[in-house]
Structure 1
Amino acid sequence: MKPIWIVDDDPSIRFVLEKALARENLPTRSFSHPREVLDALADIAAGDSEHSGPQVLVSDIRMPGGSGLQLLEKLRELQPGLPVIIMTAYSDLDSAVSALQRGAFEYLPKPFDLPKAVELIRRAVEESQREQVAEDRQTHAPEILGQAPAMQDVFRAIGRLSQSSVTVLITGESGSGKELVARALHKHSPVAGGPFVAINTAAIPKDLLESELFGHERGAFTGAQAQRRGRFEQADGGTLFLDEIGDMPFDLQTRLLRVLSDGHFYRVGGHAAVKSNVRVIAATHQNLETRVKDGAFREDLFHRLNVIRLRLPALRERKQDVPVLTRHFLQQSARQLGVEPKRISEAALARLEAFSFPGNVRQLENICHWLSVMAPAQVISVQDLPPEVLQAPAVPASPETVPSAMAGMGMAPQQALPSSMVELPEAASPAAVPSQPGAPMVASASMDHAPAQPQAGWEQSLEAEARHLLREGRPEVWDILTRRFESHLIRTALHETHGRRMEAAQRLGIGRNTITRKIQELGLDEHRGAEDA
C-alpha cells in the first residue's frame, strides 16, 4: 500500500501520527514544508525517486512559508483523486470550511483525539482505494455497464451477433438503454466502419417523418428548396437505428417494409429508385404482438424486424448494477459540471437499490446529476436523496422471473415469438413466485391468504413487524427495520467480545471502520469507552 504523507512543521505532531499509524500497519512519510511535498511529487513523476506517491495526505493548514490550502489547490491539479485531510486549530475553522469547499476530504481540528484521527485517516485510505478501483474500471469501462445475469445475457448476445449484420429488434422499458445496446451492436459488427444513424420515430411529426427517413427532391413540397438525403442514405454502409418503432405511422410502415425487403426506396417527390445497403436495428418499449392484434402495426413488418430479439431488463431487475452505475454517473456529472466528483454513502446506495426506478437507467442518471448539483456535502447521505426516492416504497427484484435477453436467438427468419417472451406470464408475477430460502420477502395483496411457510422465529417476527409498519403507512420502513437489526447485531457482538470492537468486527465479518461508523450512526455510545484488544 502507498504511504500516508504527513505535512506539518511541528515535529511532535508528525511523531505522534507516525507512531499511531505504524501501530495500524499504515506506512507513513513525513514532510515539514509544502515545498518538500511538491518536490517529492515531481521526483516521482520524473522517475527519479524510489518512493511511491501518497495514498492519503494529511496537512497542517498554517506553516511558515507555506499554506495547507495552497498545497491542496496544487494537489487538486496534480492528483485530483487524492484524499487530503486538513489539520487546523479551532480558530481556523473558517479556513477548514474553505478547505472542504476546495475539495478536501475532511478537516481535523487541533488538538485532536488520536483514535479519531486514525479512524479518519483509515476512512480516507479506504475511499482512496475505492476511487482507484473505480478509476481502473472507468479506464476499461465498456460502452454498457452491467454485472447482473440479465445484462450478461445481453453482452453474450452482442458477442454472438458480432459476425452478423442481421436485423435486430430490441425491446425494453423506456430509459433502459436500448440505444446504447444498438450502438454496441453496431460497434461490434461487420459494418462498424460505417456510420451509425439514429432516429426516434415517435419524436418526429408524421408529415416530416417520411422525408426524414427517405429524403426528398427539390420542390417535392412547400419549403423543399433543395434535394435532401434521408436517414437511409446517410446510414449507407452502416447501421440505421429506428427507435420507438411501435409508434411509426401505419402508412409509413409499408414503405419501410419495402426497404427491408429489397433495399430500394424513393425519395419524397422522386421517380428514381435509390439503393441503400443498411443494417437495421429497431427498438420499442411496446408489445408489438399486441399492436399487431390491435391493427396498429403491420404483421409482415413485425416479422421482418423480429429476426433476432434482445430483451433489455429493467433496472429493478438488475439492482446489483445500481452501485456501479451510480458511481459512473456521479463521475460523469462531475466532468460535465467541472466539479469534484461526489461520493455516496453505503446507506444511500442501499436506499437507491431499494427504489423501483420506473424511469430505469435514465432516471438513475438524472438523479445522479441532481445529486451532483443539489447535495450539500461531498459525501451523499440518505437524506440528500431526492423526494421520489425517499417517499417511494421499496420494490425487491425478482430475478428468477426475468426472461432471457437471448429470447429468439435461435429463431428462424419471420418466426413470431411466444407472447411469454415479451410479457411476463401470470405465474411469474411476484405474488405467484414461491419463496426461496434467503430470498427477499415480497409484499402483495395475496400474501395474507398464502399458505404459511415454516421459518425461524426471528424471521417470522421480522415479517410480522414489517407487515405492521407497512399497513400503518409508516415512511422509511426499510431504515427503521435495518437500524433495529444492526443495533441488536452489534450490541450482541460487543457483549460477546466484552466491548472489544476489533474482535466484534472480525466475528461479524465487517471492517473495524464499519463497526465504528455504525456505532456512531446508531447511537451505541455505551461501548465507546471499551478498548480494542
Structure 2
Amino acid sequence: MAKNKKIWIADDDESIRFVLESGLSEAGFNVSTFEDGNEVVNKLDIESPHLLLTDLKMPGRDGMDLLETFRNEHQKIPIIIMTAHSDLDTTVEAFEAGAWDYIAKPFDLNTAIEKINKAISEKKNVQKKLTEKEEISLRAGKILGKSPAMQDLFNSIGKLSHSDSTVLLVGESGTGKELVSQAIFEHSDRSNKKLISLNVADIPVELLESELFGHEKGAFKGAGDQRIGRFEQADKGTLFLDEVGDMPLETQTRIIRVLSSGEFYRIGGNSPIKVDVRIIAATNQNLEEKVRNGSFREDLYHRLNVIKINLPPLRDRKEDILLLTSYFLKKFSEEAKIKVKVLSKEVEELFENLIWPGNVLQLQNVCQSLTLLSSGQEISISDIPKDLSLQRKGPEMSWSDMLESWASKKLLKGDDHILNSATPIFEGTMIKAALKVTKGKKSEAAKLLGWGRNTLARKITELDL
C-alpha cells in the first residue's frame, strides 16, 4: 500500500521530522518534510500529498491553519495531527475542524504507520456518510433530528467511524447518551465485536470493581465461582460506561491503570489480564467541577475527554420536537395495534413551546401515555396532563432587561463592586456563544468577538471555560 504514496510531514522539531522521515521511508512511503505550515501551502501550488501529518503547535502557520486550508481547498486529503497529551482541548478542536486522526507525543512509529495506512485506504470518499440525514438507524431504535445541533452530532459520529479514540458523551438526563454510544459503536470498525454496557450508578460501590474487573473463586465472601468482568467481556470490542461521574475515587484509580496499560487483575487474581477495549463514557454531571472539588481524578478526566461530544437538550432542538413526536406516536400506535394517533395544531404548538426538562425520554413517555389514554385519534389539548402544560416556556426578556434585573437585585442586597463579578460572566457568555456558532473553532470565534486568537485562548484559561 505504501509504494509511491506521498506523505508530507510538517513539524518545527527537526528530530521528529528525522525520525518520521526515516521510519516512513523505510516503510516504502515517498516522504517530504516541512518546518512550518507556510512551506506546506507553498508546495500545494505545485503538487499535493496522499496524506499530511502535521504538528498542531508550530511558529507561523500552525496545524489548525493547515486544517482550515485543506478543508477549504483539498477536502479529500486526510490529515493526521500530532499533539501532546497536555493539549487535548486543541485535539478536540482539530477533530471538529476535519482532522482524520491524531497521534499523541511521544508516539510509537509502528502505530503512526498503521494509522497512516488506514487513513490512506479509507480516505474521505469512503467514510461512512451520516450528514444531511434526519435519522441514524440502529439495530434497536433510531436517532432522529434535523436541527443544526443534531446534524453536528451526526457529523461527529461519522468522523469517529474510522477512529478508536475514547469518547466522552456529556448531556442532561434523557438526551439519548446510550443511543449515541450505540450509534458510535455500530458505525465503528469494532461493530462486529461486542458492545458491553454498564451504568456505574446502578452498581453498589462494594460490587463495582468486581463488576468491572471480575474476581477469582474465593476472592471474598460469596465469591463461589470465578467471574469475568465487563472489561474482559468487551475485549476487542467497546465498553460503554454510563454515569461515569458517580464512580468512586478508588475505582477511578484502577480504571486509569487499564486505560494507560490495557492490563488489570481480577479481584483476588495474581496474573495480569491484557485487553483491547475502546471506551465510550457518558455523564450528566460537570466533570470539570468535580475535578476542581476533588471528587473526580484529573488524570482520568483527561484520559476520558479525548473526544467530547455534547448532546443538546430537547429545548434547544425545537425543529425536532414534532419529528420525534410523530415517530413515537406511530411506534406506540403500531405496538398497540390501533390507528396512528396525531396531534391537533394546538397541541403541536404547545409541544414546541414546552421546556421538556426530561428531554427526549420525557417526550417518549408522554407520547406513549397519550397513545394509550387519549380517546380519539387526534390528541387534543384536553388530553394533555396539567403538569405538562405548566412546563410552557415563559415570555422572553431581552438580555439587557435580565442584566438590569440581576444588577438591581445585587445592589438591593448591598453588594458592591458588581462589575468585577459581572464582567467575567459577560465575557464567558459571549465566548460560549461564539464557540457554539463556530462549532468550537477558536480562530473563527476570536474573529467574531473582535479578539486575536491568543486573547481568546488567554480568556478561556482565565475564566476556566
Q: Compute the TM-score of the two structures, normalised by the length of structure 2.
A: 0.56
Equivalent residue, structure 2, for 1:150: 149
C-alpha displacement of 1:409? 12
CA contact (8 A) 1:309 1:408 kept: no
**Alpha carbons 1:162, 1:189 under 8 Å: kept:** yes
2:223 is aligned to: 224
| 2:317 is equivalent to residue 284 of structure 1 | no
Equivalent residue runs for 1:36-75 within 5 Å: none
Residue 135 of structure 2 contacts residue 144 of structure 2 at CA under 8 Å; is this kept in 1? Answer: no
How many angstroms does 1:334 deviate by? 2.3
Mapped partners of 1:252, 1:149: distance in 2: 38
**Structure-2 separation of matches of 1:420 and 1:353:** 34
The Cα offsets for residues 450-502 of structure 1, whole Å up to 9 and x where unpaired, read as xxxxxxxxxxxxxxxxxxxxxxxxxxxxxxxxxxxxxxxxxxxxxxxxxxxxx
Counterparts in 2 of 1:405 and 1:197: CA distance versus 1, 3 Å = farther
Aligned counterpart, 2:355: 356
1:176 equivalent in alignment to 2:175: yes
Deviation, structure 1 residue 372: 1.1
Cα RMSD between the aligned structures? 3.2
What TM-score, normalized by structure 1, do the two folds share? 0.49
2:201 partner SS:
coil
The secondary structure found in structure 2 opposite 1:241 is: strand
1:233 aligns with 2:235: no
Separation in structure 2 between the aligned mates of residue 190 and residue 293 of structure 1, nearest angstrom:
36
Question: Which residue number in structure 1 is paired with residue 374 of structure 2?
Answer: 375
**Residue 144 of structure 2 aligns to a residue in which SS?**
coil
In the alignment, which residue of structure 2 is the partner of 1:308? 307
The Cα of 1:350 is off from its aligned counterpart by 1.2
SS in 1 for 2:159: helix
Q: 1:418 to 1:153 in 2, by over 3 A?
A: farther
Aligned to 1:197: 196
Contact kept, 8 Å, 2:197 with 2:241, in 1: the verdict is yes
2:348 aligned partner, one-letter code: L
Offset of 1:387 from its aligned partner? 1.9
Q: Is the 8 A contact 1:354 1:396 kept in 2?
A: no
Of all paired residues, the percent bearing the same amino acid is 48
Structure with max Cα Rg:
1
- Specify every segment of 5 or more residues in structure 1 that has no aligned partner in the other structure, as ranges: 1-136, 411-416, 426-533
Give the distance between the partners of 2:361 and 2:215, measured in 1 at CA.
34
Deviations 1:133-160 (A, max 9, x none): xxxx899788310010011111111111
Partner of 2:209: 210
CA distance in 2, matches of 1:203, 1:231: 14
Aligned residue for 2:364?
365
* Whole-Å separation in 2 of the counterparts to 1:402 and 1:383: 42
Shift of 1:260: 0.6
Structure 1's consecutive aligned runs of 4 or more residues displaced over 6 angstroms after TM superposition are: 137-142, 396-402, 417-421
- Structure 1 residues 232, 139: closer, same or farther in 2, change over 3 A? closer
2:262 is aligned to 263
Contact 1:311 1:407 in 2 (8 A): no
Amino acid of the structure 2 residue aligned with 1:194: K
Structure 2 residue identity aligned to 1:403:
K
Separation (CA, whole Å) in 1 of partners of 2:265 and 2:355: 46
Instruction: Determine the C-alpha separation between the residues in 1 that align with 2:180 and 2:135.
Output: 18
1:383–1:314 Cα change, 3 Å: same
SS at match of 2:295: coil
Give secondary structure in 2 for the equivalent of 1:202: helix
Distance in 1 (CA, whole Å) between partners of 2:262 and 2:166 is 13
Q: Is the 8 A contact 2:135 2:145 kept in 1?
A: no
Deviations along 1:368-417, one digit per CA (max 9) or x if unpaired, are: 1110121111111122112222122325899968837965999xxxxxx9
Q: Distance in 2 between matches of 1:317 and 1:351?
A: 15
8 Å CA contact retained: 2:238, 2:279: yes
Answer yes or no: is the 8 Å Cα contact 1:239–1:281 preserved in 2: yes
